[in-house]
Amino acid sequence: MHILTVETSCDETAVAIGQIVANRVKILSHAVASQMKLHSAWGGVVPDLAAREHLKNLVPTLEEAFRKAGFKSAKGGFGKIKLIGVTNGPGLAPALITGLNFAKTLSFFWGKPLMPINHLEGHLYAPWINRDLELGLRDRIFPALGLLVSGGHTLLIEMRDHLEYEILGGTLDDAVGEAFDKVARIVGLGYPGGPLISKLALEGDPDYSFSVPLKNSGDLNFSFSGLKTAVLYKALTLSKNKSLKEVLGRAPKPDLGIKLTKKQKADLARAFESTAIEALKLKTLKALKRGGYRSFILGGGVAANSLLRERLELSINEFDPSIKIYFPKKEHTGDNAAMLVPPAYLRFCRDKKISSGKKYFDNWKKIEIDPNLKLH
Ligand code: KG4
Ligand code: ZN
């Protein structure tokens, strides 16, 4: 069974073609047109600009996905597709609308069923891609604990089975990826901050330290806004060339104009990264201690961070080596459409069982975007 998926929730236009073979997800192609360079001039994603770029990129990205999957063109290959999956939230409304309308058009003209997918669910299913991880191996995987770390979310999620989610904890303010991006602006690195901060942190010395937010809070929540502010104050104290009022009043730009030496930047990056990761690790272990989890799943853009992977792996193995750890491949950590294939397939199978597929006749008419779509 071939599945085509479309993702436009933020600043990547992505299309993938996957095939389900003997209960395994094989990705035949995944194409991503990134807009990062465009948005980096503003220090973050500008929603209307993102939507305009998606409109430009959707058809070429679709063609690229078909070609990479071994078809001559979309026109020649669409007959193979049995299902179309599309992100309908959460994300930026103007960006989501472009992808959903595109997928609706394909569904209407090609006469294929359309499946709306939660973007967060996609991130959680990224470790299932091209792996020896059968969708049917329920007994070995569930109950699973998921940690979703991206630019918009920081969530601890319990999965008792496929497509079943219970949120155990989340961030009270900034998401962890957002904090990486903001700290990158403070030390003048540009956007997106995560990879730049973690690269620079490798050159840093442990000269500064920040306290781990909500360390003893007793719950499974996170907070990264205070940590980001602590980095800002430290940077202002070190530099002395800007006042707090000046940096807060600055128009959107990739940096705040705080002058720091290369060493100060690297030391700040190291201290921030280490503290943020410690917070993620502590709450993950706290959640695992609730007991009974067979596996741990990591997903989202920040899952690309090597230090996070190392520290999680080490501490989970130390706590209970029988817990299986599933990390996504790095190419599937950021926004992509390949991660939508497993949930699209699972939802289709489940719904088909319930309704013998009737609900898919012209179902594209009923699907709407939801920028605040929750995972449940
Ligand atoms: O999942 P994603 O691509 O988009 C959202 O759904 O938000 O995540 C993007 C976030 C950005 O904040 C980016 O800075 C962060 O992931 N990120 C990283 C790394 N690579 C990307 N954060 C820390 N370390 C990285 N290596
Ligand atoms: Zn994402």
- DSSP symbols for 128-176: GBTSS--TT-HHHH-SEEEEEE-SS-EEEEEEEETTEEEEEEEBSSS-H
Residue 169 in any domain: the answer is yes
Between 237 and 245, where is the model more confident? 237
CA trace torsion 183, 187, 192, 195 (10° rounding): -90
Say yes or no to pLDDT of 140 above 80: yes
Mean pLDDT computed over 114-127: 96
Q: Residue 297 domain-assigned?
A: yes
| Nearest atom, ligand 1, residue 177 CA | 12
Q: How far apart are CA 190 and CA 153, in angstroms?
A: 21
Res 204 pLDDT > 90: yes
Query: Which of the pair, 100 or 40, is modelled with greater confidence?
Result: 100
Residue 243's domain is classified under what CATH number? 3.30.420.40
Same domain, 316 and 342: no
Q: Do 187 and 76 lie in a common domain?
A: no
Backbone angles phi, psi at 213, to 5 degrees: -65, 140
The alpha carbon of 350 and the centre of ligand 1 are apart by a number of angstroms equal to 31
Domain that holds residue 340: 2-130+333-365
Q: Which residue has the higher pLDDT, 242 or 315?
A: 315
Centroid of ligand 2 to alpha carbon of 135 (angstroms)? 22
Same domain, 306 and 164: yes
Ligand nearest, relative to CA of residue 175: 1
Same domain, 170 and 297: yes
Work out the mean pLDDT of the chain and round it to a whole number. Answer: 93
CB 50 within 8 A of CB 98: no
**Atom 10 of ligand 1: nearest residue by CA position:** 151
Same domain as 119, residue 153: no
Helix/strand/coil for 229: helix
Does 354 have pLDDT greater than 80? no
Residue 206 CA to ligand 2 centre (angstroms):
31
Whether residue 343 lies inside any domain: the answer is yes
Could you tell me if 22 and 87 lie in one domain? Answer: yes
pLDDT above 90 as % of the chain: 79
Looking at the fold, whether 198 and 123 belong to one and the same domain comes out as no
Mean per-residue pLDDT for 149-165?
96
Q: Is the pLDDT of residue 355 over 80?
A: no
57-74 tens-digit pLDDT: 999 999 999 999 999 999
Average pLDDT of the segment spanning 217-236 = 96
Please state the rounded mean pLDDT for residues 280-285.
Answer: 98
123 CA to centre of ligand 2 in angstroms: 7
Q: Is the pTM of this model over 0.85?
A: yes
For range 98-107, the mean pLDDT: 97
Is 206 domain-assigned?
yes
Say what the pLDDT of residue 71 is: 95
Q: pLDDT value at position 135?
A: 66
Q: Considering every ligand atom, which ligand is closest to the CA of 40?
A: 1
**Averaged over 197-225, what is the pLDDT?**
96
CB atoms within 10 A of CB 255: 16
Average the pLDDT over 141-159 and give the result. 96
Same domain, 184 and 318: yes
Number of residues written out for the chain: 376
Residues flanking ligand 1, CB < 6 Å? 10, 150-152, 177-178, 180-181, 192-195, 198, 300-302, 304-305, 334-335
Residue 138 has pLDDT above 90, yes or no: no
**Around ion ligand 2, which residues have CB less than 5 A away?**
150, 335
Confidence of residue 251 (pLDDT cuts 50, 70, 90): low
- Most informative mutation of 119, 150, 181, 330 for ligand 1 (most atoms within 8 A of CB): 150
| DSSP code, position 359 | G
pLDDT for the residue numbered 40: 81
Domain contains 48: yes
Query: Counting beta carbons within 10 angstroms of the beta carbon of residue 66, is it exposed (0 to 12), middle (13 to 18) or buried (19 or more)?
Result: buried
Question: From atom 1 of ligand 1, which residue's Cα is the shortest distance away?
Answer: 301
Average pLDDT over residues 262-270: 97
Name the helix (H) or strand (E) containing 76: helix 74-77
Whether 370 is in a domain gets the answer no
Residues 152 and 175 in one domain: yes
Same domain, 92 and 231: no
pLDDT in tens, 325-352: 999 999 999 999 999 999 999 999 888 7
Domain total of the chain: 2
Residue 372 resides in a domain: no
The reply to whether 174 and 201 lie within a common domain is yes
In a shared domain, residues 277 and 345: no
Query: Residue 138: inside a domain, yes or no?
Result: no
